[in-house]
Structure 1
Amino acid sequence: MSTTVDSGPSSGDVPFLDVTAPGFGFGTPEVAEAQAKNWYAESPVGLLVLRYAEGHALLRDQRLDHNGKRFMEMNGVTGGPIHDWFVPMIMNHDGAHHRRLRGLVSKAFTPKMIAGLRPFVQARAKELAEELAAAAECEFIGDFANPLPLAVMSEMLGVPSEDHDVFHTWTTDVGLVFSIALGGDVVARVESALVGLGEYIDALMARKKAAPAGDLISALVAAQQDDPLISTEELRNLIITTVFAAHDTTRHQLANAMVAFAGHPDQWRLLGSRPDLADQAVDEVMRWLPSSPTIYRFAAQDFEYQGLQITKDTFLTVCVTAAQRDPRVFRDGAKFDITVPREAPLLQFGAGPHHCLGIALAKAELAEALPALATRLGPPSVAGPFTWRPPIGIYGPNTLPLRFG
């Protein structure tokens, strides 16, 4: 592992972590060592918040904001499809405008709607698990982690099943938006996904307006007709953002769960014999190996925090993986254990006014998927080499070859 923890360009007891180094990860001993030294570290991309209490507080601090325009500029994007989607995105608004947009999206995540989706999630998870049980080996992302949330998201939005294949390519690539600093073909892939999604969603909205059904897009189209303040562009942006949140993060969280259990086969066997632990297992998987290992903010003003002078426009990253293993908050935080109740809220879903609306749906999907697999299949083991997405952004394996004991 090429993580470095040393004085670097820092001074005193402030460690330096090179998050741009090949193979860097937030769940390493080097990061734990940095966390023991200080609540934050310096890095090539700005400040890294390593401890839970400070991360939780700063995510709620109104002196910090998302500043989508600044994030795009920092990554060399000043126009085009990515800029035009990301800058006006719901998370980049605050106050009354944010509350109005959030009120629209919350239609997707009411307890009634999630309860209505639960039988669909359960049936699809069991069907996919049975297919894995009949195979000696699988590519878990293609065979389970991708089709489950894709089917659930499509059911929620009203996307026809015959469109799933083309839809999933777009929803996969748009999730790379937080990794555009890495260059290569990332920008082109995200742009292509946004263009394809935008054109598809415009056509789907037109169909739902002509023939409404009981899905989210129909509800949003109806809301637009009742509220002249909602533009078609704003509605399209909301739907693309919902797609991005509902598919890619859950897909990677399912794959991350398998990596976690592959390293802890006794925990898998326990879940298989005690499916009543499903909800607790979901929380532990999300704590241990979150699909959103970092959350960024910008300083909206100059201010002081715990003796540290933070200047306006400072880029600050809350390191969720490290914070959710912080021994100051989590007893035996460096140990993966589905039997230990964890009282502290997970950080990967944010905090305050921007707390993720989709948390209940994501947890419901995993709570159905994990016992469906563990009660039918022995412990997973990795069946071949695989690579990871970058640790900054939505995180998980690119592919995951598995065999089940």
Structure 2
Amino acid sequence: MTAQRLEQLDLFHLPVETPEFAADPDPWLEQARARHPWLAQSVIGPVLTSYRAIDEIMRMDDALKMPGAEIVSIMGAEGTGWGDFAQDMMLVRDGADHQRLRGAVSGAFGPNNVKRMRQVMIATISALLDEWAPRGAFDFTEFAANFPVRVMFALIGGDVAKLPGIISSLEVQGSSFNMIVEDMPKIEAAYQVLWGFVDELIEERGPDGGKGDLLDDLIAANTRGELTDKELRQMLVFLFGAGYDTSKNLLTLLMDTMIEYPAIWKRCAEDKEYCRSVVREQLRLTSPSNTYRVTTRDVTWQDVTIPAGTMLLFPLGISGRDPELFDHPLTFDPGRPDRTAPLAFGRGMHICLGQFLAQANVEEATHLIAQRLTNPRHTAPASWRSFAGVWGIKSLPIAFDPAPARVPEPA
């Protein structure tokens, strides 16, 4: 069968830029799949709507690149600090350059090191719950914003006293790749705050280090000439942004889901191992990140050829809702027999570096939050971030019945 060219297809248009789509993409996805089994169109470019298409095409590292310069052009960010970052950071590098940068930090985010960090996660979320749980009601996104970045501070060796001053900038940085052009002035301002923060962090630590943490490792790589001064600072901005946004959004999405499944939430409080299945199922149903790639050559998959130079949107956050692979895909079922791996963290050479850290953060947090925030319920509708880029819930007002801290479990 001869493949059709992309431009020959009559694809359904997904309004990915609208608040309505961000809040509930499923009605549009159903129409898109009725028109074509794995492709739709959008203002950004073609959207892959099939799990298998996303899984297999994202692995074609030789045919795809991250769209750094393209996004900077769309945002009108040429000549800005953020624009420089968007074109130079690790995510948009490839080949030996990408391996060099990724190798500088990969050890710190491996499963063994993340396992050692679990006690830090437990202590961090426990302290936050002691402060927040007695309130009985709050915006859960504000609570969640304080957790994963504190764990990241512990990994880097940063002073948490400086955290309040940068959280708002981290929030803006997290949404910077949603391609909302009118946000560019505040994106640049936030980037400059973060650049100043990491620059000060490096200067305070000095070339000799002494803490034996990730920051010392990065400074040592800089001293050996393996990272330039700019790469060192950009790497830290990237790590803080990624460490803040993914876990915070995933945890907030999970709380929103759990309000609809109170029996599962109660079990999370009693069964820590069960929380792993719950987090995995959340990653399948709804996860924070959607991403882009630009084709560097013609790509043919099944019966369609996508031409070189095409910007593709990979909706990782809803890839697990594909009815071709998952029975009752909109039902939250941690015990579902199908063990198909979620695509939440991507595929290929740019698969999320911090995936083990993010999952561990949310697993530990879920168990302890379920013990302290019982009977959670909405007090107002959730508001959603833009779908393209880092998706998630912008505001989640909840009330709950506070419970006291339990005796700590054995390590």
TM-score normalised by the chain length of structure 2: 0.90
Conserved 8 A contact 2:75-2:181: no
Give the Å deviation of 1:120.
1.1
| Matching residue's letter, 1:379 | N
Structure 1 residues 271-330: Cα deviation after superposition (integer angstroms, max 9, x where no partner): 2343320111111112212011x2211011223332223122111011223321112222
| Counterparts of 1:323 and 1:10, CA distance in 2 | 24
Q: Which residue pairs with 1:86 in the alignment?
A: 86
Structure 1 residues 39-60: Cα deviation after superposition (integer angstroms, max 9, x where no partner): 1111222100001000001111
Q: Which residue pairs with 1:173 in the alignment?
A: 172
| Matching residue's letter, 2:362 | L
Residue 374 to residue 341, structure 1, CA distance change in 2 (3 Å) = farther
Conserved 8 A contact 1:89-1:241: yes
Conserved 8 A contact 2:17-2:387: no
Following superposition, which runs of at least 4 residues in structure 1 exceed 4 angstroms of deviation? 9-13
Q: Which residue pairs with 1:97 in the alignment?
A: 97
Question: Counterparts in 2 of 1:4-403, with a 5 A limit?
Answer: 14-25=11-22, 27-37=25-35, 38-61=37-60, 62-143=62-143, 145-179=144-178, 181-184=179-182, 186-210=183-207, 211-226=209-224, 228-292=225-289, 294-340=290-336, 342-403=338-399
Per the alignment, in what secondary structure is the counterpart of residue 304 of structure 1? strand
Q: Which residue pairs with 1:6 in the alignment?
A: none
| Counterparts of 1:276 and 1:116, CA distance in 2 | 17
Conserved 8 A contact 2:286-2:318: no
How many residues were matched structurally?
Answer: 392
| Counterparts of 2:337 and 2:151, CA distance in 1 | 28
| Counterparts of 1:23 and 1:93, CA distance in 2 | 34
| Matching residue's letter, 1:16 | H
| Counterparts of 1:87 and 1:387, CA distance in 2 | 31
| Counterparts of 1:32 and 1:273, CA distance in 2 | 37
| Counterparts of 2:231 and 2:127, CA distance in 1 | 37
Structure 1 residues 87-120: Cα deviation after superposition (integer angstroms, max 9, x where no partner): 0111111111111111002132133432222101
Per the alignment, in what secondary structure is the counterpart of residue 167 of structure 2? helix
Structure 1 residues 151-172: Cα deviation after superposition (integer angstroms, max 9, x where no partner): 1011111110210111212211
Give the Å deviation of 1:128.
2.5
| Counterparts of 1:314 and 1:75, CA distance in 2 | 18
Residue 368 to residue 341, structure 1, CA distance change in 2 (3 Å) = farther
Name stretches of at least 5 consecutive residues in structure 1 with no aligned partner: 1-8
| Counterparts of 1:261 and 1:270, CA distance in 2 | 11
| Counterparts of 2:16 and 2:8, CA distance in 1 | 18
Residue 229 to residue 119, structure 1, CA distance change in 2 (3 Å) = closer
Conserved 8 A contact 1:296-1:318: yes
Q: Percent identity?
A: 28
Structure 1 residues 59-85: Cα deviation after superposition (integer angstroms, max 9, x where no partner): 111211113112221333322111111
Per the alignment, in what secondary structure is the counterpart of residue 379 of structure 1? strand
| Counterparts of 2:337 and 2:109, CA distance in 1 | 25
Q: Which residue pairs with 2:409 in the alignment?
A: none
Conserved 8 A contact 2:47-2:314: yes
Residue 229 to residue 148, structure 1, CA distance change in 2 (3 Å) = closer
| Matching residue's letter, 1:165 | P
Moved more, 353-362 or 375-384: 375-384
Q: Which residue pairs with 1:4 in the alignment?
A: none
Q: Which residue pairs with 2:407 in the alignment?
A: none
| Counterparts of 2:210 and 2:201, CA distance in 1 | 11
Per the alignment, in what secondary structure is the counterpart of residue 330 of structure 1? coil
| Counterparts of 2:68 and 2:251, CA distance in 1 | 28
Q: Which residue pairs with 1:5 in the alignment?
A: none
| Matching residue's letter, 1:177 | S
Name stretches of at least 5 consecutive residues in structure 2 with no aligned partner: 1-5, 402-411
TM-score normalised by the chain length of structure 1: 0.91
| Matching residue's letter, 2:319 | A
For the aligned residue pairs, the C-alpha RMSD in angstroms reads 2.1
Per the alignment, in what secondary structure is the counterpart of residue 12 of structure 2? coil
